[in-house]
Structure 1
Amino acid sequence: MNNTPHTNCLTLRLLHAAKGYKAVAFDIFDTLLKRDCAHPADLFALMEVTHQAALGFAGARVAAEAETRQTLGREVTLAEIYAHPALQGTDPAAECAAELAMIAPNRPVAQAAAACHARGQKVYAVSDMYLPKEQIEAMLQKCGLDFLDGVFVSCEYRVQKRSGKLFKLFLQQTALRPAEVLFVGDSPRADFAGAALAGIRCFLLPQPTPLPYTKTPADAVGGVAIATLQNCCQNLNPSAALGAELLGPLAVGFATWLHGQRAAIPGAKLVFLARDMYLVRQVYQLLYPEEETFYLKASRQSLLPALLQCPMNEQALALLADTLPRQQLTQRQIAAYLGFDSPKGYTTKTYDLRTRPLPCRTKEMLLALAAHSKLPEGEPLRRRAEQARAYLEQAGLTNGPVLLVDIGSGGTTQRVLEELLHTQLYGCYLACDARLHQNLPPERAKTFLFDGCPAPLWYWVGQPMLEVLLSEPCGSTVGYHAQAGQMVPEIGQAGADNRAITAPLWQGMRAFVQRWQAGPLRDVQIPPQTGIAAFLQMVQAPRMQEVRTLGEITVEDGGSWKLAAPASWGAYLHAPAQLKRDLAQARWKPAFLQRLFGVPLPYGKVYAALKHKK
């Protein structure tokens, strides 16, 4: 039994309400059981997606049920629905199989039913449904509800709950008096009012708490993702539920998209780039455990010594500049980043590496550093370059086609690897900016989100946070060394430890992935917009609990910075200039302001307006 506060609260309320009754009867759908789809009719559209039914089946199935009900004027059976001319020749067994695959227990209610049975009460199920009783019983048994004393389904008796007649029939067949039964359901009309017509008291379930950042999408597959998420979150604590919502559909959608990209290139090697793709690789391995994947521990910094040894033509010089941090740095800082052992001899003159095209003085400085790397004093750097090349050769990136998976921006790492290996790679990116397709052709640089277009404002506002949430909790790769005949990556010291925040979020994300992997849509891609929507909504308009928790995440970007961690008002009153500095350094400014003022105002809209004006 799950011990989350939400589950215990509802389960205990049900048990308390049922105390003293000889029997407890439960509605089935949305009470004892939950479908992993947003709407019942979505099941028919999903049968088309999974090739369990021909195209056009969904519309014909909905129309057939409506017309059959109108013609007969009573509750109908599945056999009567499939006797409709629109479904002629269609086997209802496919629908039964699809229903069975999409069902899951509603944990708090199912646990209450089991507890009632354990303490000696009779437990029944009563439902308005066209599926045959045998099918309903199979679904209940799959969800661990095989202890029921009886199952009453409307289509077996041609009467419904809402009229009160199915409840009266239930009382007759069980020889129970109305006062001896508590009925548990979710519908005010069919369950509460219908039971009242038979004199039975009804415990009406509260409506499920909506997910804070998720809206039900219009498409059926997205609806399954959200319904699966809602059903998954009912068993999780708040932190894990947040992780499932923000990361679950996004990671699964990206992983299934990658699976399709790999299938399109026979024999392709799938290589996930450290550190940003650490979690995505784990998700891919959970979904496709039979497939081999690779994890390339390379960073731009670890590859720069090798890149510096390339002939410095205009193209190589531009790539070198793109590989360096896009900041204002001194020559001494640039030399240290490139890997020179003794950068003290370099000047503290500042160069702006953000400017494109490169100013002449910046070009001259980079060319001078490249020339210096080939002098005797550059020997340690050249040794690091050889070690980097040896590691790449060991990784086998030139043995057949390679799909390089990265979080994405401008595709710089892919371009560096192609320059060093003299080969072409296929980049698979979560998202990108305008630079990606300026530097790489679309067929070799594909993007999961936003239809391959540059990502919008709120993605970039949240991107530093997303990197932390997806990344391996360690420092970046800074070089390589030989060990036992192999080249081994050297990992730098991590600037911050965010695991106390990310661990429960990962727990929830994995719970969603495992639930999705066990379902019938494992290989069906969750739509990109469904995957990213909750994260974008949270970045723009977070609740205060997320502001306080996620605002403490530390990101590395030319230094270590908190996402949104203002000091106290007292500190700012003593040092007003500090407020300006802290706001400028905050990587999640709407959350910084919300945390500072403590009032939920539309900070996101103000920030977006200021950015647009700028």
Structure 2
Amino acid sequence: MLRQFKRKLATYPIINYDQLWSQLIDAEVVIFDIFNTLLKSSIPNKPSMFMLIANIWQRENQLELKNFVKLRLNAESKAHKKYGNKTTLANIYEFLSVPKSVMEVEIYITHELNQANAPMQMLYQALKRIGKRLIVIADTNIDKQVVAQLLAQNGYSDYEKLYVANEYGSSKKNSLLFERILKELNIKPNKVLHVGDEWQADYFASLGAHIKCFKIPRVSINSLQPLIANDAILNTIQLFSNNMLDKYEFDSYQEFGYSAFGPVILGFSQWIDANVASDYRIFFFARDGYILQEAYQKLYPNQVTDYLYVSRRALQVPLLKNSLNIEDVLNYINLPREFTASQFLKACGIDKIRMKDSQSKVKYTKDITSLSWLNALYQEYKIEIITNAQLEFDYLKEYLLKIGFTDKVAVVDIGWHGNKQRALEKFCQLADIPVIIKGYYFGVAKTAKRDQVTSYGFWFDQVKNQNQNNLARPINGILEFLFSAKHGTTIRYDKSNGQVQPILAPYEFEGNHDLIVQGQLLKTIRQAALQFVVDFTDSKLNPIIQLAPKSAMKLFELNVFKPSNDFMRRFGHFVFIDRNVKYLVTPRSNWYYCFHPGQFKRDFLLSRWAIGFLKRIFKLPINYFNIYALLMKYFDKMHY
């Protein structure tokens, strides 16, 4: 309750810029507060700042700063008791037994984690142009010279005078500094307007000197995401994001893209850069790697990467060029649990065969009961399958050699089972292409352990840690929807004018009106996420902040694992297009499932966003991931 009250107080009042401009014009002299007025900090509070200082210093020096947050707070208290309002940062560090470089990190952080408050900067520049007298003041332990540098690097210049409270042994929390300004500059208080964010230090202190104050909120809430406690790095990213949103007029989809999905692709890009060896050439797999490559290139513009047009079908069909037994064929191709003869042949690369009605309706599985029938079907069309596979094999080999897929290669994709990497390694072995492949994935499922492909997971890695959950499985539709490219899947390769090129399927989000609208929404989400990466890249945070996977994923996880009703309304109606067009969340009524529990099982298992499916049914504020895990465990037992 107290936290909520403080947040309300910090965000009050909402700024009426027309009213503020009117008062600024009427005043002869304007006194601007600096911190959280002219400048916006990306640090929520002192403990978070001190935690960040410790993290950065420890990362750079490979040493531990034990209990630094507590010690730094105590040192400030002791310094104020000894030096009073004249306390400087150097005075505070007299009471800390830490290397001098720690104080240098704090000064650096203060410099780098303050950015110009865009709306205030526009007003400041406008006042400069009309010749208004401008005074700037700060109540801080930082030296005046450092404050002046901070203002200059953020575009604030040509003010009449800078006042830093500790220089005069006073504080903004009483009226003495404001009275001193009036006396030194010979200004009448009724000719002055003060603009600041603090109730005591700005509003009441200036009123005590009979100066009118325009109070602005210390924090303007632009983001819809909750502030995460006990994570200084993520808090910094969140405040940066919140401050930057002042520049944009985003809707709720774009805000999600900027504030929640943006940190995801940023953190993954940083992880790739930190983990891929410099002598490995990076290839991003189509299509899920499309936005990942865009984010990586924006963050690391000098790095050379490639985009590899591949799909499971385009890689698996060429492996059928030799005569195989039916078990090997089924291991190579990708099929649903139940499939028709037409689907089997299409997965083998033959999709223009007309089947008899009696044949086309028969459903097969990969179980032993279907093997003799499938083998007979394979034998019937084996010549066509092998002939087509040989042609596709040759074109794929030529394509890989043309783009330089040799030597040491890092492949990057969303994940999960390593099927594309496994098929590529098998293909390169058959094609005598000398290559060492390492896979870097958003997540690695335990099934990737098969055939021992070398892979690494960012969000989760069940091969390295079997106790981890497959976090992607209950939200797979949301993930693949967000990561999909703006082009169709790769079908195969063909030669035109002597050059091998990938042949792509039509883009899914074209055609009818609803799909076009959804495609546009998806585009705006991804553009907003990439804009976050651009803004971060151009900011002073870039060399400082390294987002750990847990921090990068936190806001995204809150939205998709614990979706609000509003999030459900916005994303539940989206469609996921795989073999069929399906809505992400389309449960039937609860009454229907009471009388048809078997249908509940089928709908639940087929849902591409199982968490959202359960939320739509139960509508309670409970942990749906745990419910999902229990149901999956129960259904798995039933299956066996």
- Taking structure 1 as the reference length, the TM-score comes to 0.84
Q: CA deviation at 1:586?
A: 6.1
Q: Do structure 1's residue 282 and structure 2's residue 291 form an aligned pair? A: no
Q: What percent identity do the matched residue pairs reach?
A: 23
Residue of 70, 90, 95 corresponding to 1:79: 90
1:77-476 correspondence runs (5 A): 77-84=88-95, 86-87=97-98, 89-90=100-101, 95-206=106-217, 207-209=219-221, 211-239=223-251, 240-263=254-277, 266-310=278-322, 312=324, 316-317=328-329, 319-320=331-332, 323-345=333-355, 347-348=359-360, 350-351=362-363, 353=365, 358-368=366-376, 371-372=379-380, 374-375=382-383, 378-397=386-405, 399-422=406-429, 424-440=436-452, 444-450=454-460, 456=469, 459-476=472-489
Q: Do structure 1's residue 44 and structure 2's residue 53 form an aligned pair? A: yes
Amino acid of the structure 2 residue aligned with 1:12: D
Question: What does the per-residue CA deviation read over 1:18-55, in whole Å, with 9 as the maximum and x for residues that have no partner?
Answer: 45222222222222112233433245225415638975
Amino acid of the structure 2 residue aligned with 1:304: Q
Q: CA deviation at 1:282?
A: 0.7
Whole-Å separation in 1 of the counterparts to 2:49 and 2:110? 10
Q: CA deviation at 1:296?
A: 0.9
Corresponding residue SS for 1:125:
strand
Contact 2:79–2:95 (8 Å) recurs in 1: yes
Corresponding residue SS for 1:488:
strand
Note closer, same or farther for the CA distance 1:31–1:566 as it changes in structure 2 (3 Å cut).
farther
Corresponding residue SS for 2:195:
strand
Whole-Å separation in 2 of the counterparts to 1:49 and 1:528? 19
Q: Do structure 1's residue 56 and structure 2's residue 65 form an aligned pair? A: yes
Q: CA deviation at 1:593?
A: 8.8
Corresponding residue SS for 1:37:
coil
Contact 2:474–2:628 (8 Å) recurs in 1: no
Q: CA deviation at 1:583?
A: 9.0
Question: What does the per-residue CA deviation read over 1:53-98, in whole Å, with 9 as the maximum and x for residues that have no partner?
Answer: 9753955655543332222233312333345562565585554333
Corresponding residue SS for 1:401:
strand
Q: CA deviation at 1:460?
A: 3.2
Q: CA deviation at 1:522?
A: 4.0
Could you tell me which runs of 5 or more consecutive residues in structure 1 were left unpaired when the two chains were aligned.
1-7
Whole-Å separation in 2 of the counterparts to 1:544 and 1:435? 34
Amino acid of the structure 2 residue aligned with 1:419: K
Amino acid of the structure 1 residue aligned with 2:620: P
Q: Do structure 1's residue 499 and structure 2's residue 489 form an aligned pair? A: no
Contact 1:217–1:530 (8 Å) recurs in 2: no
Whole-Å separation in 2 of the counterparts to 1:523 and 1:310? 54
Whole-Å separation in 2 of the counterparts to 1:587 and 1:76? 59
Contact 1:125–1:150 (8 Å) recurs in 2: yes
Contact 1:35–1:103 (8 Å) recurs in 2: yes
Note closer, same or farther for the CA distance 1:290–1:371 as it changes in structure 2 (3 Å cut).
farther
- Taking structure 2 as the reference length, the TM-score comes to 0.81
Whole-Å separation in 2 of the counterparts to 1:527 and 1:12? 42
Could you tell me which runs of 5 or more consecutive residues in structure 2 were left unpaired when the two chains were aligned.
1-13, 430-434, 511-517, 635-640
Q: Which residue of 1 aligns with 2:28?
A: 22
Amino acid of the structure 2 residue aligned with 1:532: M
Residue of 499, 516, 521 corresponding to 2:536: 516
Whole-Å separation in 2 of the counterparts to 1:53 and 1:27? 38
Q: Do structure 1's residue 527 and structure 2's residue 564 form an aligned pair? A: no
Which deviates more from structure 2 when the two are superposed, residues 240-249 or residues 407-416? Answer: 240-249
Contact 1:256–1:523 (8 Å) recurs in 2: no
Question: What does the per-residue CA deviation read over 1:535-566, in whole Å, with 9 as the maximum and x for residues that have no partner?
Answer: 22222444555444434533212212233479
Q: CA deviation at 1:225?
A: 2.1
Amino acid of the structure 2 residue aligned with 1:450: F
Question: What does the per-residue CA deviation read over 1:223-272, in whole Å, with 9 as the maximum and x for residues that have no partner?
Answer: 33222222222222233332111221110110111111213xx4111111
Q: Which residue of 2 aligns with 1:32?
A: 38
Count of residues in correspondence between the two structures: 588
Whole-Å separation in 1 of the counterparts to 2:127 and 2:587? 51
Q: Which residue of 2 aligns with 1:555?
A: 576
Q: CA deviation at 1:490?
A: 0.2
Amino acid of the structure 2 residue aligned with 1:255: S
Question: What does the per-residue CA deviation read over 1:102-127, in whole Å, with 9 as the maximum and x for residues that have no partner?
Answer: 22112223223333444443322221
